[in-house]
Structure 1
Amino acid sequence: MKQASDILGRVARSLGARRGTARLRAVALIGIDGSGKTTQAHRLADALTQAGLPATYHRNAGGRAWLGRLAQRLGRRDAQGLLGNRGMLAVESTLRWLAIARALLGTLLTGRTAVMDRYAVCQYASIRAHDGRRGERLARITYRLFPAPQVTFLLAVEPAEAYQRIERRGTDHEPIEYLVAADAAYRSLPEFPTFVVIDANRTPDEVTRQIRDHLAAWLPATGSPVSRPPLLAPLAAPARS
């Protein structure tokens, strides 16, 4: 773990050292389940690549859906029923940390723009939504090695709409109460003012347009980024009173 931390520390310093360039290096799409993150992240990676900025989609899931399906096969209600609330959050935090670390290392090696489907703040929101705030401080300490994306899009959708989308999808299930708690958790994060809030209640094409309009300054019609300093910086844990 120490060796991995040292490597990621070098990644963060390398990314931070590039502040003098205007290249878009990392974009994150976050939001509650059913907000359309995965669809939009795939579309964005394709659009950036077509515009002349090679990009790679990275799914930084914490494994909760997979754990939920495993729990049901074993006769448990959900992941919490299988591992307990603290156990589920610990496994989720670890799996997401590893996924983000792999994505960042890949970005450093290839030079491609990283389009992140979920990021570190998703873990903080998950912890808050599951009433596990005591674990948030530890999560922030372990995740603070990761540089913040230059742009973080929060796909904001009404929990009732998200619930209907998940039910139509039919691959998993989320209680409406959890979706409400998760929505509130994202909005309560200290990072919330830095998010670009996207109205994700609209159609997928309309959401895509909102995202592309915001990124127009980074990718003009010529496909060349404009001269604008990147915003990469290590995620710092907020002060505790």
Structure 2
Amino acid sequence: MPAPEARRGVFITFEGIDGSGKSTQAKRLAEALVAAGFEVELTREPGGSEGAEQIRSLVLEGDPDRWSPETEILLFTAARRDHLEKRIWPALEAGKVVICDRFADSTRLYQGLRRDGLREQVDRLHDMMIGTEPDVTFVIDLDPALGLSRAKGRQGSEERFEDFGEGMQRRMRAGFLELAQDHPERFILIDGGRPADAVAADVLARALPRLPAPVTS
């Protein structure tokens, strides 16, 4: 199944370092848009479909050196393709607002920063097997030390990338800021150091102008 040539819905992604609050803000935006009358599909990566969730457990659990960066790229791409086929593309074709917690930009940075030259491999695989970019990407920006502290405080089983430490967090933040500078038409930077309610209000105000009027019955 190739990527749809046209889509009726709007594809919004949330990015940011671990602990930035992007998952909370993705959920808050989905709830606000549903209340405003939009049809919304809230999902996440890695995961979002049955097959992709199985791959998620492989890449987010275990020792930080469990997989080589090259293997991770293949795993993430396989998960993303299944997610697109099973959830994202059908929802967009149905005219829904798709909100995804992480997408390809995270792969570009996490894997691309781990070894020189891997960013080009990520982009080539993306062009070959994915071919879909979000309409809008919110980057929830936060101090890396605070983000890592928040992420570690969750005490969940999916801590493999947090275990790379604050240095990786700082490189990730710099990478997101660079992507936002290079693609201002798609990226919207949001200050994540404020109370969650203030961040959510800011995100909603910036999202609404990018959306068509909701369908009313």
Give the TM interval when normalised to the shorter protein: 0.7 to 0.9
Question: How has the CA–CA distance of structure 1 residues 92 and 123 changed in structure 2, closer, same or farther, with 3 Å as cutoff?
Answer: same
How far did 1:56 drift?
0.9
1:210 to 199, 202, 206: 202
Instruction: Please name the residue that 1:135 is paired with.
Output: 118
Tell me the number of residue pairs that the alignment of Structure 1 and Structure 2 aligns.
199
Q: TM-score when scaled to structure 1?
A: 0.71
- When structure 1 is superposed on structure 2, of 172-181 and 31-40 the one drifting more is 172-181
Q: Secondary structure at the match of 1:34?
A: coil
1:24-43 counterparts in 2 under 5 A? 25-43=10-28
1:90 aligned to 2:74? yes
1:224 to 210, 213, 217: 213
Question: How has the CA–CA distance of structure 1 residues 97 and 181 changed in structure 2, closer, same or farther, with 3 Å as cutoff?
Answer: farther
State the structure with more CA Rg. 1
1:1-241 counterparts in 2 under 5 A? 4=1, 6=2, 8=3, 11=4, 13-15=5-7, 25-61=10-46, 66-67=57-58, 70-71=61-62, 77-78=63-64, 81-131=65-115, 133-144=116-127, 145-171=130-156, 172=159, 173-174=162-163, 175-189=165-179, 191-194=182-185, 195-218=187-210, 224=213
TM-superposition CA deviations, 1:136-194 (whole Å, max 9, x none): 22322332353432221111111011011112211134311211121122223374434
Q: TM-score when scaled to structure 2?
A: 0.78
Distance 1:123 1:101 in 2: 18
Unmatched segments (≥5 aa) in structure 2: 48-52
How far did 1:113 drift?
1.0
CA contact (8 A) 1:56 1:115 kept: yes
Distance 1:209 1:48 in 2: 12
Question: How has the CA–CA distance of structure 1 residues 31 and 192 changed in structure 2, closer, same or farther, with 3 Å as cutoff?
Answer: farther
Question: How has the CA–CA distance of structure 1 residues 178 and 100 changed in structure 2, closer, same or farther, with 3 Å as cutoff?
Answer: farther
Instruction: Please name the residue that 1:74 is paired with.
Output: none
TM-superposition CA deviations, 1:27-86 (whole Å, max 9, x none): 111111111111111111121111011111011227797336642xxxxx32xx222232
CA RMSD after TM alignment: 2.6
Unmatched segments (≥5 aa) in structure 1: 19-23, 72-76, 226-241
Give percent identity, aligned residues only.
23
CA contact (8 A) 2:112 2:122 kept: no
